[in-house]
Structures are given as structure tokens and as C-alpha cells.
Amino acid sequence: MLKIGITTTVPVEIILAAGYTPVDLNNIFIMDNEPNKLVEAAETAGYPRNICGWIKGLYSVVLSPENNINKIIAVTQGDCSNTHALMETLQLAGVETIPFAYPFDRDYDLLRLQMDKLIKVLGTDWDSVEQQRKRLVKLRKKVAEIDALTWQKNNVSGIDNHIFQVSCSDFDGNVDLFEKKVDQFLLKAQTAPEKGEELRLAFIGVPPICPDIYNYLESIGARVVFNEVQRQFAMPNEVADIVTQYQLYTYPYGVFGRLEDIQEEIDKRNIDGVIHYVQSFCYRQIEDMIFREKLNVPLLTIEGDKPGKIDARTKLRIDSFVEMLK
């Protein structure tokens, strides 16, 4: 099947209904053996140094011949403010770009209109999309079970929780294979010994460009039992209407809707502290002001720029935060 790259989570059911393979460009970028070279390639092509590393990585992923991506769906509202320029530079390189916009106010009719436009552009129909929605409901429930095992039974690590939920943006490009992987993991996780970390943390904000943070936290006696945005990628709200499903998805809309979800999960999961990850040069850094004022638990803000391991300064700040919570 032909591939369609996506810049973030979109209604993947539409892509599957149209017979395409969805490819989350972020996952290809961060899982590359040398992701920093992808950033450098974008800078060599003309991307400024003082913009988000993710955007530069996405640009290079699409233009890498081995990825064979000639068409992308770019979220122009509800994700990254740099996506418009990403689209334009990819168009310059001959890549077909399809815009998709989440309405800021979560308006149902506007969201349905955006989905209808995407359905028509990709050449499918609402009935086929509904078939894919029903197909994915069972798989999403299994991923939700991994999340439940993380915070209820304490036998899933923060990194595994992160990986399985963040992968629901494209299901690794192969729904059946991904489901087998989930099934195999659940079999092991259900009988795995309980984790012994003393502190329970929430991780809010965009998925980190330095994923080794999860294992580092566990090495010093803390574990992430709530990954905010990753959980939203997995669509935790079970509803019968696909438009409502993407209307309840919190990430692309206003921060106060996210706050409600975050606070509810903090209370439910007995969270001791929150790590708010922000990406360098991202407008979402400003939202840190709101989280600090509204959340009722200790919060540490950390910043990442380019892919790689967390630096010594960040480790020192994490150490101090964890020690304070103890």
C-alpha cells in the first residue's frame, strides 16, 4: 500500500479506509539510528537553527529516499505553529501536502467538515471509515489495558507505556502486526513482578525528544505512571461516533481542556509530582505558566532541543526534584 506521512495524530481511520499505510513522521525520526543527522540535513538545506528539532527531523524524514513518502497530511491547526512552513518547503521539493485543521473551540460541525474533506481527498467514504473505527476499538482497548497495568498493577514501565500509546498514531504502519505485538506484551505484563519505585510521576506535554528520561527516572526510584499526550494519541474515550472521538481528543485544542484531563488522572493515579516537558522554540512553552498555577502537585519543567540523551544539567534538576518529593 502507498504511504501517507502524518505530522501528528489525525483521524487514522480515514487513511486506513482509503487503503493507505499511515506513517507518523515523528516516530520514524526519533527511532532513526542517527536522528541528529536528520536535523543537520534540514539545517544544511536552509532550516534555521532556532526552530524546533522535531520539524527539522520531519522535513528530512520525508525527503529521505529510503522512506518512500510522496504524500503527507499536515496538521495546520492544533499542533505546531511551524507546520505551515514545513508544508511549503515540502511542496517546493515536490511532495503532495494535504492540510488538516482541528478547530480550536472543538466545534463538532467544523471538525466533521475537516474529516469530510479528508475523506473526499483520499477517495473513501464514511461507511468505510466506520468499519475501520470498529476494527480499531478492540485494539485501542488492549492498549488502554497496558496503561491500566502501568498505574493499577504497577508492572509496566514508563517507557513501555509511552511506546505503546504513542504508536497508536499510526499503529506502526501495520495494524495487524501491531496488535500481535500488543497481545504478546500483555501476556508478559500480566504476570510480570510489581515495580518497586517509590514515587509516581505524571509526564505532561509533547512526547520527549530524549526518551531515555523514563529509564533514568526509574534508576533513581521514580516511575512515570501517566503519559498525558501519549494516552490521548491512543484515544482513551470510548464513543460510538468518530467525530466525537476526535472532538474529545484533548491535545489539539485549548490548554484548559487538557488541564481537566490531567487533573482527573493525577487524582485517580495518586501522582506525587509532574514533569512538564517542553520543546525548545515551541509556543507551548508559554502554557507552562498555566500548568504551574492550576495544578495542585509539585511540577518540574524540563526542556529538550535535539535528539539524544538527557544532559547532565537536566539530570541534576531531576535528581533534586525526586529527592524533594521523597
- Cell numbers describing residue 187: 501476556
Asked, for residue 192, whether it belongs to a domain, the answer is no
Let me know the angle formed at the C-alpha of 158 by 153 and 160, rounded to the nearest 5 degrees.
90
Is this model's pTM higher than 0.85 or not? yes
Whose cell is 491500566? That residue is 148
Contact yes or no for 302/317 (Cβ under 8 A): yes
Q: Cα 314 to the chain's mean position, in Å?
A: 22
Residue 262: its pLDDT value, please? Answer: 98
Asked, for residue 240, whether it belongs to a domain, the answer is no
Contact yes or no for 122/14 (Cβ under 8 A): yes
Nearest to 150 by CA among 225, 228, 216: 225
- Residues 304 and 125: their CA atoms lie apart, in Å, by 41
- Cell numbers describing residue 181: 505485538
Asked, for residue 217, whether it belongs to a domain, the answer is no
Residue 325 has pLDDT above 80, yes or no: yes
Q: Residue 83 sits in a domain of what CATH number? A: 3.40.50.11890
Whose cell is 533534586? That residue is 320
Asked, for residue 259, whether it belongs to a domain, the answer is no
Full residue range of the structural domain in which residue 33 is found: 3-126
Count structural domains, the chain: 1
Residue 288 has pLDDT above 90, yes or no: yes
Q: In residues, how long is the chain?
A: 326
Residue 197 has pLDDT above 80, yes or no: no
Whose cell is 500548568? That residue is 291
- Reported confidence tier of residue 92, pLDDT bands at 50, 70, 90: very high
